[in-house]
Amino acid sequence: MGLFIRKSIETLQAEAQQSGSKTLKRVLGPVSLVALGVGVIIGAGLFSITGTVASEYTGPAITLSFIVAAIGCCFAGLCYAEFASMIPVAGSAYTYSYATMGELIAWIIGWDLVLEYTVAATTVSISWSRYLVVFLQGIGIELPHALSACPWDGGIVNIPAMLIVVLMSLILMRGIAGSSLFNGFIVFLKIGVILVFVILGWKFIQAENYVPYIPENTGKLGEFGISGILRGAAIVFFAFLGFDAVSTAAQETRNPQRNMPIGILVSLLVCTILYILFAHVMTGVAHYTEFKGQEGIAPVAVAIEHMGSTNAAGVFVQAYPWLNKAIILAILFGYCSVIMVTLLGQSRVFLSMSHDGLLPPFFSRINERFRTPVHSNFLFMIVVSLLAGFVPAQVAGEMTSIGTLLAFTLVCAAVLIVRKTMPNVHRTFKTPFVPFVPIMGILTCLCMMCFLPADTWIRLVLWMLIGLDVYASYGRKYSKLEPGQAHRKGDIVLNILGLALSVLCIITGLWHQQTVGWDADKTLLTISFIFAFTHCAYYMLRVWKQSKEIKPLE
């Protein structure tokens, strides 16, 4: 099978059907799945990037962006549910694709998931730092701006963001996992924050803040207007990160054919309603321009400061001076669990890929004392902490969205593929209205990707090129399904994909420069050209070498 060799679904299904004390119990019903979905979906995205999106791209119409993003999630969620029923084990898109579409596609999705978790942890950590600064200011402690913001935000290094990453990583290395009681408490805090914010803030909404509801486009694609709503949808997609975790609970679900779609769709509906209410109140109590700059990464704090009235002396008095501290403290605790889960996800993806031989065995070694993959944890502790210390939150949030959208696009496409290639594999749930649903999922996700900033595309293409290099130089040689083979069927596809990404690197570089202006900084354009030409040469050399080696055999 070469680069498209697949794992045996029969083996995975046999594992799912095992019973005993060491297997997962099917105890989750529809209510439990909805609760799980709401708890997973309501994460840091809502409390971190919504202010920036409203001020930069959508204005009050951020509510429409949430609706568009939810539609894309709905289509993708139905496709995830089918894979969860085909392979009802605790896995991810990487596992699903390895069993259905082959090794090369699995590598692409796995590498993309690493990007998704990395930038998600970075974004949340930066937002956590900003909320911490606001909280400490409320109790009279002022952190130096130079040590609590990255260079692009006027500081030197964001130390609080780096420290929280290190702390959560050390906890993971020691194997300490939150109990169900703790996790339930965190979910309660997240939902409670939204409800309290909406209920108390509703009466302070000022209608003039909604005028105009859809600000006029500035003349640039994605800056307000309809294109701004679509760009906003692509970015706030980050707020729905994690809903696919519901589909991975298929092995623990009673009657997954009925309960899985209920869990996915109802939890998405509940969260979408909460998100719309949150955004409506947020942009109602404070004008969307108030969230511009670094303040936008902590929109709840900004909005609460505008809840109040002006007294007879003309001084603005906050109605709930205690509310800001209480809600921000709850958000800080909630963020800790989100950071930990994203760091955990990174290490588990690396662990799975290493077990399959696609990455060095170093990353799948388990520490005998703590029983955790400390090498993977340590690697991501260093990488994410550096990113959190020196990268702006807006850049990281956009990268999270494009990584998630790419993964969802591939999963939707995978449903179309497996319906043709594996029609007889037993499924307890089938995506309805195929091919309409997966095609709409692909189109919706691709549409949102197209409206993301051009520099986000450059970074995605660069990341995928780096991943392809790792697979071409290591993974394809040491794969445990076909180990020790110098040549594998499908190598030509790998080379063509490398060349195609190189060309795309040039296109995205030119697109970005055209967007920002040819007089602007050309660093990204230069990097994209260097990557493109070096990789074109590399993959053309691979094609030439392989053709020379194959001809004598013929």
The predicted-structure confidence for 488-541, as pLDDT tens digits, reads as follows: 788 888 999 999 999 999 999 999 899 888 988 888 899 999 999 999 999 999
Average pLDDT over residues 144-171: 89
Residues 6+ apart with CB under 8 A from 326: none
Is the model's pLDDT at 295 over the cut of 60? no
Beta-sheet strands, E only, within 10-129: none
Residue 341 Cα distances to 357, 399, 504, angstroms: 24, 18, 33
Is the model's pLDDT at 7 over the cut of 50? yes
Which range is least confidently modeled, 156-170, 247-261, 455-469? 247-261
Do residues 176 and 337 touch, judged by C-beta distance below 8 A?
no
Which pLDDT belongs to residue 554? 46
Please state whether the peptide bond connecting residue 256 to the residue before it is cis, i.e. omega within 30 degrees of 0: no
**For residue 553, what pLDDT band results from cuts at 50, 70 and 90?**
very low
Do residues 164 and 129 touch, judged by C-beta distance below 8 A?
yes
Residues 6+ apart with CB under 8 A from 205: 280, 281, 284, 285
pTM over 0.85: no
Helices (H), 174-255: 180-201, 225-236
Residues 6+ apart with CB under 8 A from 213: 59, 60, 61
Q: What is the C-alpha separation between 400 and 119, in angstroms, rounded?
A: 5
Which pLDDT belongs to residue 534? 94
What rounded mean pLDDT belongs to the chain?
A: 82
Which pLDDT belongs to residue 265? 80
Is the model's pLDDT at 283 over the cut of 90? yes
Type of residue numbered 533: F
Type of residue numbered 528: S
DSSP sequence for 261-279: HHHHHHHHHHHHHHHHHHH
Which range is least confidently modeled, 169-178, 327-336, 469-478? 169-178
Class of domain 42-451: mainly alpha
Q: What is the C-alpha separation between 239 and 259, in angstroms, rounded?
A: 24
Nearest to 406 by CA among 339, 504, 259: 504
